[in-house]
Structure 1
Amino acid sequence: MALAALSNILLGNQYIGIEHYTLDANDCIALLLIEKKKGELIISAKENTSNTENIPKHCDKRLPFYLVINTNQVIQKELEGVDGSNEKLIRKAFPNLAWDDFYYEIWRLKTKSIVAVSRKTYVDGILAQYQGQGVLIAGLSLGVCSISEIISYSEKSELETNTQVVSWDEINSVVVGKKTTALKTYSLNGLAVENSYLLGFAGILRLILGSSITNGNVLDYNAVLRGAFDQKTLFIKGIKVMIGSLLTLLLINFFAFNYYYRKTEEVSSELSMNQSSLEDINATKARIAVKETKVKEFIDLSSSKSSQIINEIASKVPNSILLTEFAFQPLEKKIKEEEPIKVLEKTLLVSGATIDNAAFTNWVEAIEKIKRVQQVTIVNFGKDETNATGFTIKILLQ
């Protein structure tokens, strides 16, 4: 339950659903932004465009995106029967295809089944296109299968998408091509949704509910996509919290140093006749001034360069690596009274675990190529008592 709560927190209150579809031999996208306010879903923005290569500039790339691919590169077949075996339904629908090369999704109704398939190279190409724009896809569906999530919220016996009519009375065909492009608006549990955005909305609903009534290897892939989204979102938010906490502590130290500095000034004026005491006071003031300078430099460096480098390193973390600790300019040794604070300047310490040594090596090499990185040293790398491969790397900045 705690993990589910954390996952919902990482998901946030805003979601984007995107449907890729083919109309008159042209690929288009229908984009829908949904916001959750006071427990209700509200449509905040929507756009239907033929520009499938770039998402609109006003879209926040940090939000969770749910992708529905419903183009002419997705083949859908309707079968009689609802056999519980995915393999039997797949082989019945497409007996001669190499299934390792395809993603598939199966929607089982009462007496019929819809099987949607698409080549992995095609789907992965679309996902890579979004990843190249800094967008994290948190979920994926093929064809009209995602509409299964919303039929219970509609009083109709059929719904229209951008290019199809979907009926679940099972008397006629479940999915047929649409002959007109007229817009329709449906009421789904009180929310008015245009037919152009039905599949995207259904995907968002699946993302929020965290469940699906369909089956297929697409759902296994969804678990990977959602895990990658949660991990990177947690890392980014964790870094922000860490930097905020660090700056707060540094500010407290800064004010503390100022307080003791003023106290030293008062003592200095009272003991102005005692040369020996004045020398001691001047030495104390010098140490405080050095510490104050370090604190100011640390704050300036932390607030400017650190966030840029951290974001760049975070963007290169592969799915096979889980970070557990990130220390910027760590202490050289414990703080002791009457001793100056010493830190490992221009240094990052990163710890975590990996399940793919090759991916770890590639990640380290990618960090070394960052402009402001001078050197990357693997401090620790090996299996622990749980047989997991842990590591610690030290990154020296220029």
Structure 2
Amino acid sequence: MISAFLSYWNYGRRFCGIEYYSPSNDTSRISVLTAIKKNNEFEVEETFEANKVLKCARKLKKNQHAFLCITSSQVLLKETTTTGTDAKVVSSAFPNVELNDFYYEILHSSEGSIVGLCRKKMVHQIISSFEEQNIRIIGFSLGFFSLQNLLGIIKEQEVRLPSFILHTNGREIISFDRAGQGNENTNFNIGDTTINYKFLLPLASLFNYQSGNVYYTSNYITKNLELKKEHHQKVFFRKGLASAVILLLVMLLINYLFFSTYYSELQQLSRKHEIEISQKLAYDEKYKEVLEKEKIVENILNNSNSQSSLYLNRLILTIPGSVLFDQLNYQPLQKQIKENEPIIIEKNIILLGGESTDEEEFSLWIKDLEDVTWIEEVKVSDYGYSSAGTSKFLLILKLIEDEAVY
């Protein structure tokens, strides 16, 4: 599971094999095969040829990775029966070669070895020509040695390639001959797929994506590892950056959604809180006004009750037998109490009302009231007959301010 994920992360689903052949510096032939990997099997998607790297890049997707097989005339191939170390085998095929300047590859078989040799400078130039066109080379092989990966499937004694004829025993490449262009209709059946001989090597190179080959040895294993590592780093940077941006956008979106939700709720709560505060302030203000009015009314009532009782006691002492009180209003209101309007009373005023059955005695009583020291003025506001021998009256007594009542 992890290896499948890493493979998909680093390479995606599309794999590419390329054979680069150049008989001279002026001409070249590039065979390209792309395949889709499904259930650990390669399904051929497209094959095409090009005579320039630029034309090849135009047909591939940008940043397409590929494994490169170099079969150009700059790759020297030679058979040898010498055994031993790689250096010994290469020296037997190419005596006096300075190995520090060359890449070599050795294909071992039961009958000997085939050595491929190419200058490092030339290999680097070819790889750079692909890299400049955004084709990411993740590894390379010299000559036709990658075809060893397909021999178990092809099982042919003689395999024709565009530049070589390979002789096999069904399991190994024993020898080779250089050859010119073959029959264009030469095809091979690979499983359920028919492959033209020009694209056998690109197809075989796809198996080099996963691991090194056990059939041959070389001195460029480190270089191939560097190419893979460089590709993986670029993929990680590109996909990692894209993933980070997407993750950041998703987090921002989630944060925005949560923030919008909570911010909306916060606004509603804030508005509700502000309304409650406003209502509480209004309530407190009204309550304060009510308390003040209650206090005023209470003072008025307390004062009126105490003073009215005192005045009533004093007035009773002067009342004749023919007079009967039915009203005593001390410091009456000037007008009815209304909301948001001040309470106004008539200070030092007593309204005194009742009935009288003796008009003469009533008049004498009025004169007696006028002589009271704490009454400043006596005014008859209303006087009239209510029934036979009985009269209704209303007196307004104006009191002297701060005058003691005796």
Normalised by the length of structure 2, the TM-score is 0.62
**Per-residue deviation, 1:44:** 0.9
Q: Aligned-pair distance for 1:58?
A: 3.2
What's the CA shift for 1:221? Answer: 1.8
Q: CA 1:173–1:7 in 2, change beyond 3 Å: closer, same or farther?
A: closer
SS at match of 2:56: coil
Give the number of the structure whose alpha-carbon radius of gyration is greater.
2
1:192 aligns with 2:168: no
Q: Which residue of 2 aligns with 1:266?
A: 268
Instruction: Map residues 25-174 of structure 1 onto 2, 5 A cutoff.
Output: 26-81=27-82, 83-169=83-169, 174=175
Aligned residue among 224, 227, 230 for 1:225: 227
User: Aligned partner of 2:111: which letter?
Assistant: T
Given that residues 17 and 201 in structure 1 are in contact (C-alpha distance below 8 angstroms), is that contact kept between their aligned partners in structure 2? yes
Distance 2:266 2:249 in 1: 25
Q: Secondary structure at the match of 2:135?
A: coil
Contact 1:7-1:230 at 8 Å conserved across structures: no
User: Amino acid of the residue matched to residue 205 of structure 1?
Assistant: F
Q: What's the secondary structure of 2:134's corresponding residue?
A: coil
Structure-2 change in CA distance of 1:179 and 1:64 (3 Å) = closer
For residues 247 and 172 of structure 1, the distance between their equivalents in structure 2, rounded to whole angstroms, comes to 55
Deviation at 1:258, TM superposition (A): 1.0
C-alpha displacement at 1:160, in angstroms?
1.4
1:244 aligns with 2:246: yes
Q: Which amino acid in structure 1 is aligned with residue 52 of structure 2?
A: N
Aligned residue pairs, count: 276
Deviation of the 1:230 alpha carbon: 1.9
* Unaligned 5+ runs, structure 1: 278-398
Q: 1:114 is aligned with what amino acid? A: I
Aligned residue type for 1:68: C
C-alpha separation between the residues in 2 aligned to 1:157 and 1:98?
A: 35
How many Å apart are 1:215 and its aligned residue? Answer: 0.4
For the pair 1:10 / 2:46, whether they are aligned, the reply is no
SS state at 2:156 partner: coil
Which ranges of 4 or more aligned residues in structure 1 deviate by more than 6 Å?
A: 170-173, 274-277
Structure 2 CA distance, aligned partners of 1:67 and 1:197? Answer: 12
User: In 1, are the aligned partners of 2:64 and 2:134 still within 8 Å (CA)?
Assistant: no
- Alpha-carbon offset, residue 267 of structure 1: 2.6
Which amino acid is the alignment partner of residue 215 of structure 2? I
Partners of 1:32 and 1:46 within 8 A in 2: yes
Change (3 A) 1:238 1:211: farther
Kindly report the root-mean-square deviation, in angstroms, between the aligned alpha carbons of the 2 structures: 2.7
SS at match of 1:251: helix
**Cα 1:36–1:174 shift into 2, 3 Å:** same
Counterpart-to-counterpart distance in 2, 1:221 and 1:172: 25
What percent of counterpart residues are identical? 26
Cα 1:86–1:175, aligned 2, differ >3 Å: closer, same or farther? same
Task: Tell me how far apart the structure 2 counterparts of residues 86 and 126 of structure 1 sit (CA, whole Å).
Answer: 25
